[in-house]
Structure 1
Amino acid sequence: MGGEASPRSLQDWRHVHNTIIPAHVLSLDDVRERAGRNRLEVAYLDDVLVGCSTVRPPADAPTPDAPATATVIARVLAAHRGRGFGGEMYERGLKHARALGAQVIETVVLSSNPDGLRFALKHGFAETERYLLPGDTVPWIDLRLSV
């Protein structure tokens, strides 16, 4: 959805996010704000919503102690998992992050999403941290792509 997103794509991205991350429900305004700073995409099989992805670009200019780090997230609705959609979205996001100059790739998974954690580990990520955000009861897991 980079750039001007359609109302449908924003709503569909929100639907996938809120379905997979029920502990952190986003409003349409939240999604619009995210679309202004991140690359948000939705994936369809024909006209059926399959999933969404996010690429958070590197925030700062890299330094030797802090390489340019981007976050790539691929989310697939449960009915469509195990068919390669997540891998395709992840590869698109990874390519985009690297085109933005990312030297390090991270992702984040809600611990209540074992499919997402398995996907990340299968694609070369290693867990770096587990934490609770204020008010949350389910931990988040940060992972970093192993080279």
Structure 2
Amino acid sequence: MTDLDIQRVDGTAGDEQLEAWRYVHNTIIPAHVLSLADVRERATRNHLELAYEDGVLVGNSTVRPPAGDDAVAMVIARVLAEHRGRGLGEQLYERALRRARDLGARVIETCVLESNENGLRFAVKHGFAETDRYQLDGDPAWWIDLRLAG
């Protein structure tokens, strides 16, 4: 397994990085397309990263910092379909999980589109259990919130 080249995407990121992060998100989550302005705003409040393997964009991740009395953080790792099955998602997930815990998270959650069978399998394999199923206003897609056991 190759080590990934990781790039942080923060509030000072240029359009090229923001567009790369947006591309991965919108490709994997077509039910919730983000604009460049959406990603720019997310980069100011979340920990976003891009993942490259040998100079090729393979995925991204999001860590929503801990919030609330339970210090709940959201961790999401995304790998483009053509790069799955080689442990890249594992690297992204482990990195995002460490970041969430470094930020003080006591509870870890994730969110997966119901139609993303690979993402759901990955989450369950890593100890997540479903806590909620819902649709966003006007959106026919179903979303599943999951919480890491323990």
TM superposition shift of 1:112: 1.1
Alpha-carbon distance in structure 2 between the residues aligned to 1:25 and 1:7: 17
Alpha-carbon distance in structure 2 between the residues aligned to 1:43 and 1:91: 13
Alpha-carbon distance in structure 2 between the residues aligned to 1:18 and 1:77: 10
The reply on whether 1:127 has 2:130 as its aligned counterpart is yes
Task: Name the structure 2 match of 1:79.
Answer: 82
Aligned pair count reads: 142
Give the match's secondary structure for 1:33: helix
The reply on whether 1:46 has 2:49 as its aligned counterpart is no
Compute the TM-score of the two structures, normalised by the length of structure 1.
0.93
Compute the TM-score of the two structures, normalised by the length of structure 2.
0.91
TM superposition shift of 1:58: 1.2
Structure 2 residues without counterparts, runs of 5 or longer: 1-8
Task: Name the structure 2 match of 1:11.
Answer: 19
Higher strand content, 1 or 2? 2
TM superposition shift of 1:138: 1.1
Task: Name the structure 2 match of 1:36.
Answer: 44
TM superposition shift of 1:7: 2.3
Q: Which of 66, 71, 74 lines up with 1:58 in the alignment?
A: 66
Task: Name the structure 2 match of 1:106.
Answer: 109
Aligned residues of 2:72 and 2:108 also touching (Cα < 8 A): yes
TM superposition shift of 1:51: 0.4
Runs (4 or more) in structure 1 with deviation over 4 Å come to none
Alpha-carbon distance in structure 2 between the residues aligned to 1:29 and 1:3: 11
Give % identity. Answer: 68
RMSD, matched Cα: 1.0
Q: Deviations over 1:87-134 (max 9, x none)?
A: 101111110100111000000001111000111011110011110000
TM superposition shift of 1:4: 2.3
